Amino acid sequence: MSNILEVSNLTKTYSSGSKSLTVLSDISFTIQSGDKLSIVGSSGSGKTTLLGLCAGLDRATSGSVILNGISLDKLNEDERAYVRNQHVGFVFQNFQLLPTLTAVENIMVPMELRREKGIRKKALELLDRVGLAERHDHYPTQLSGGEQQRISIARAFSNNPQILFADEPTGNLDEETSEKIEHLLFELNRESGTTLVLVTHDLDLAKKTDRIIKLKGGMVLHPSDQLATENG
Amino acid sequence: MDKKISIPNQKVAWQWVFLMAWRDARKSRSRLFLFISSIVIGIAALVAINSFSDNLQSDINSQANELLGADLELASNDSSFRYPVIEEMSHEVSYENSFASMIFFPKNQESRLVDVRALEGAFPYYGKIETEPADAEATFRDGTRKALVDQSVLVQYNVGIGDSIRIGRVLFKIEGSLISSPSQSIGATLVTPAVYIPMAYLKETELIQKGSRVYYRRFYKFNDPPADFNIDDQIRTDSDSLRAARISSETIRERKEETGDTFEDLADFLNLVAFVALLLGCVGVASAVHIYIKEKIRLVAILRCLGASGRDAFYIYLSQIGAIGLIGSILGAIVGTFIQTVLPRVFADFLPVDVTFSLSWPSILGGVLTGLFVSILFALSPLIAVRRASPLITLRGIQESGKRKIDKAQWLIYGFIFLFIVGFAFIQIGSIRDSLIFTLFIGLAFGFLAGIAKIIMWLVKRFFPDSWSYVWRQSLANLHRPNNQTLVLISSIGLGTALITTLYFIQALLINEVEITTNNDRPNLMIFDIQSHQVDAINTKATERGLPILQSVPIVTMRLSSVNGITYKQVLEDTSINMRGGMFRREWRVTYRDSIIASEELTSGTLKMLESRSEELNEKYKDIVLVSLEEDYVERNNLKLMDTLVWDVQGVPITTQLGSTRKIDWQMVQTNFLALFPTEVLEQAPQFHVLITRVKSTEEGALFQRDIVKEFPNVSVIDVGLILNTIDDILDKIAFVIRFMALFSIITGLLVLISSVILSKFQRIKESVLLRTMGGSRKQILSINSLEYFFLGSLASLSGILLAMLGSWGLAYYSFNSTFVPNILPIITVYLIITCLTIIIGLFNSRGIISKPPLEVLRNEIQ
């Protein structure tokens, strides 16, 4: 199987005046197509920053990210947007649905950006797949958190992404809803054969993926460090 | 492995862009319309004024003949002037001799200075002299002693049709009141109203004597002129000889152009006032869009995450603003078309023709396009932020700050805005320099207000009163915290306030200027056309009544024949001579004395030859006459000291040299002269005299006038008090027009105020709800909001008033040469009105936050 994501020596530093803060330092890993990977760590460990860099939402200070064979660091913002639209799906902790669009319209947007035809039918099918067919013309404010996240998942899969990035997908949901969302996410992932990169601090959720990368202070903990941390 | 990717060079997916714009606008339509409401009034004003001037222009064109009343008007100060080319053609001609004179009302023993017009012939040949009753225009020509008297005079002196007036030695019956006549210019009649009498009785009045200033007009109507004859071409061909003979001419085309130009100037001025209202609206648009886009950034970030390009996101909001701008402009054009119907009534006192109503499509289209253009142009500055919205906001919630490169597009937009303002002003004013000055002042005004807003924010932060109660601290802190409205509200409300207050200040300044001239120690009665032999008698009469003889001045009329040997003829023939013809054409009214007076200042040279010279020099220069001219006039005409000026004093040549220049304060009520002769030169020339005195009351003035006019009917009296009343009337009429125009700015200012305050509600809503959630009482939140709006309203109105005071001071000092003393009462009134309005509108908009449960508010308002 080929690598869908190659991260090499990735460093991210924020500067403010004369001070600088390194939030990620020399991170390297690869993910093969179809794999499920979790990035875990405590708050401020750099998980979200790493996800942002891997998904092409931000630029690294040094190092490289190659997504599906495309080096993201050489692209400008519009080129990265194009790559995201063609290859990437997103699920966010706070859903990030477009508040002025109905449920079905939200799902249609990535396909519309790809200029696909017959998208309403596909969007309705996806909506049906996540169990919200009857809520197709509801606006996000008229939906519960769990329903919004389901719409968000349907939207993430609407452009048949090769890789899906999920940032704390159950972080804003109660336990029961979280389980349903996890189930839906993994099921759709399996059906479509998409690579999944999951950022979470929920170790139980992380354990459901093939691999776990644990971050601490912006660095990847080595297996021995991981063990030490896990043991105590 | 590194694949090269290249984005397919896709065109903008306009269909999707419009679809997204539509979807996104569904829940913001009312707010979007609010943004654009600020420009509706500005566009309405532009469309109304342009449509009105279009209609006026076409009416001037269609009624052009009636503006002049004849095919050609010739005029001169010489009764015997001739224009053979015209006289040889088949024509009809009418004669009008006009001069200033006193008329006396036997009914109430009062008298007044008027413009007497002795008429002979069937003039006007086109249109008519409008009278009340309408047939008076015809019946006053029945050969008897009848007169048409300007309607304002009849009202002023409480005389009516059938009463009598005495002009010179003749008593005329008032046949009708004169409403308008083709030969009288608008405005002139306000100072010297016209009285028509039949020419046959002019001699009998005994008013025309040697040296009298009479203006001789002839009106021609051509009967079947040859097909190839064009009066304008003919006048052009003969222009030099006409000028040399000091004959002035006017054709229908010239009158039409002159009238059209006058009203074009007026329309241009009004357009500028409307444009200021539009600019004010544009500030409203820019600030509203700024807030709107700030709220939409998260949404843009999501779209960016999903793969939308910055360009696509930008176009979504651009098309929203464009569409709503178009709707606003169309609405403005509709409102403007309705306002257009009111304008003939607003300008009634100034219109030369009857204005008809018709839709002016070019004005409507121009207005709509201008509206669309300005709404997009002014929205662009905040809108381009969309291009740079980072998709990272979806993860982080906020746009990461950090060093950002200055967006070149931003400067480009500022450049376009600058060019637009200069360009628009240039179209109206027609002068690049003045357009740049106009733009500079607009820029300075905005800069000043923005500067004040920044200083206030800094001061509040720097000297924050930590010991004050929570409500005061919170409301005060709102002035500088993120999402504050300080800059936007102070700029928009401040500019509106400044505009309105300046208009008021300037009006008050003008009226004050006029009033100053009536204060206790100023002259207020001028008697002129006094013959030399009448001077002593009139002076005695004044002294008997205890009136001071402030000035008794002889006046001699003359013309300039040559300057340094160059005559007018040479100036006309030789274009290489750098000399203006005007000094040869004018009839000079000159006085003689050996000293300067209070209104003058000697700036160079000397009035008289120095007497300390040697006997030999005195003998050599004894025949040299030194004259003094006004400094500016000397500069304008490229003259210099010791130039030789030869004058034609009613047939007698007098050689002089330019001995000195004087600066003259023309504003003082007294006789001032461009040219001053020394004594012992003009004493024997035909001359008349002017007496200036001061009466203590209107009654005293009227009695003295009656006394003088009865005995010396040839003299004319100018009652400054009466002129001041007339000026007051004119100012009232102008002020009405200005107030009407200011109304557009006031309404726009209010709309900007309303939209700014409503939008600020969205800025503060989350916070107010959080405060409520944490247990803040309704009273506390209400107090915080009221105080914040109080601070904003106060600061905005005070900044505007300060700007207006600075502007008015500048205008007073530089343009009116006067001192600006602000009146405190209107300042307080404006301050209270603007501040109260801000608080009322602010609180009216916050009522929902206070009365509804917090969660409901959040769900409804935040999205």
The pLDDT tens digits of the residues spanning B644-660 come to 999 998 888 999 999 99
CB contact under 8 A, B306 and A97: no
pLDDT, tens digit, for every residue of B328-383? 999 999 999 998 888 888 777 777 777 788 888 999 999 999 999 988 998 888 88
- Contact criterion met (CB below 8 Å) for B846 and B761: yes
Residue from A53, A92, A97, A112 to probe the interface with B (highest B Cβ count within 10 Å): A112
At residue A227, the pLDDT reads 41
Cα B1–Cα B7–Cα B11 angle in degrees, nearest 5: 170
Q: What would the pLDDT profile of B461-512 be if each residue is shown by its tens digit?
A: 888 888 888 888 888 888 887 767 788 778 878 887 887 788 778 777 776 7
Q: Residues B189-217: pLDDT tens digits?
A: 556 788 999 999 999 988 887 667 788 99
Pair (B646, B735) in one structural domain: no
Same domain, B68 and B120: no
State whether residue B564 is helix, strand or coil. coil
Half-sphere exposure (Cβ direction) of A76: Cα atoms closer than 13 Å: 7
- Concatenating the DSSP letter of every residue in B486-544 gives HHHHHHHHHHHHHHHHHHHHHHHHHHHHHHHTTSTTS--EEEEEEEGGGHHHHHHHHHH
Q: Determine, for residues B863 and A101 on separate chains, whether the beta-carbon distance falls below 8 Å.
A: no
Chain A residues 54-73 with a CB less than 8 Å from chain B: 57-58, 66, 68-71
SS3 (DSSP) at B98: strand
Length of chain B (residues): 863
Over residues A3-37, the pLDDT tens digits come to 889 999 999 998 777 788 888 988 999 999 888 99
Q: Is B447 helix (H, G, I), strand (E, B) or coil?
A: helix
Q: Tokens in use for B574?
A: 């030789």
- How near does any CA of chain B get to the CA of A71, in Å? 6
Q: Are residues B273 and B378 in the same domain?
A: yes
CATH number of the domain within which A221 lies:
3.40.50.300
One domain for residues B247 and B378: yes
| Structural domain includes residue B546 | no
User: Are B270 and B392 members of one domain?
Assistant: yes
Q: Which of B2, B16, B298 sits opposite A112 (nearest CB)?
A: B16
The dihedral through the CA atoms of A100, A101, A103, A108 has a sign that is negative
The partner residue sitting opposite B392, judged by closest CB among A58, A83, A97, is A58
DSSP secondary structure of B178-229:
EEE-TTSPTTHHHHS-EEEEEGGGHHHHT---TT---EEEEEEEESS--TT-
CB within 8 Å of chain B, chain A residues 152-181 = 155, 159, 167
Which pair of tokens denotes residue B430? Answer: 């027609």
Q: Checking DSSP bridges between strand B600-605 and strand B652-664, what pairing results, if any?
A: antiparallel
Q: Which residue of A has its CA nearest to B6?
A: A79
**CB within 8 Å: B23 and A81:** no
Higher pLDDT, B760 or B326: B326
Q: Are B644 and B563 in contact (CB under 8 A)?
A: yes
Q: Are residues B220 and B238 in the same domain?
A: no
> Which pTM value belongs to this model?
0.72
Give chain B's contact residues with A (Cβ, < 8 Å).
1-3, 5, 7, 10, 13, 16, 19-20, 23-28, 298-299, 302-312, 390-392, 394-397, 402-403, 859, 863
pLDDT in tens, B548-606: 888 888 989 888 999 999 988 888 778 788 788 788 878 888 999 888 888 889 998 88
**A125 in contact with B, Cβ within 8 Å:** no
Whether residue B761 sits in one domain with residue B863 = yes
Q: Which of A77, A98, A110 sits opposite B310 (nearest CB)?
A: A77
User: What per-residue confidence (pLDDT) applies to B136?
Assistant: 92
Considering the domain boundaries, does residue B508 fall inside one?
yes
Count of domains observed in chain B: 4
How many folded domains does chain A comprise? 1
Place of tokens 């071409």: B233
Structure tokens at B729: 């009337």
- Say if residue B800 is in the same domain as residue B858: yes
Which of B196-205, B251-260, B462-471, B620-629 has the highest mean predicted lDDT (pLDDT)? B196-205
Q: How is B151-183 classified by DSSP, letter by letter?
A: HHHHHHTT--TT-EEEETTEEEEEEEEEEE-TT
Q: Residue B2: its chain A contacts at CB < 8 A?
A: 66, 69-71
Tell me which residue range forms the domain holding B106. Answer: 90-224
Burial of B474 (0-12, 13-18, 19+ CB in 10 A): buried
Residue B286 and residue B208 in one domain? no
User: Are B237 and B383 found together in one domain?
Assistant: yes
Inform me whether the pLDDT recorded for B614 exceeds 80: no
Last residue of a domain, one of B224, B243, B259: B224
In a domain, B539, yes or no: no
pLDDT tens digits for range B697-753: 777 887 888 888 778 877 878 777 776 666 667 767 776 776 677 677 777 777 777
Highest mean pLDDT among B73-77, B353-357, B501-505, B852-856: B73-77
* Crossing angle for the helix pair B14-25 and A103-113, to the nearest 10 degrees: 160
What's the count of helices (H) and strands (E) in chain B, helices before strands?
29, 21
3-state secondary structure of A117: coil
Q: Are residues B59 and B177 in the same domain?
A: no
* Minimum Cα–Cα distance from B855: chain A residue: A141
The range of the structural domain enclosing residue A20 comes to: 3-231
CB B741 within 8 A of CB B270: yes
- Written as one letter, the residue type at B16 is W
**Which chain B residue shows the shortest CA-CA distance from A70?**
B3
Choose the final residue of a domain: B668, B693, B718. Answer: B693
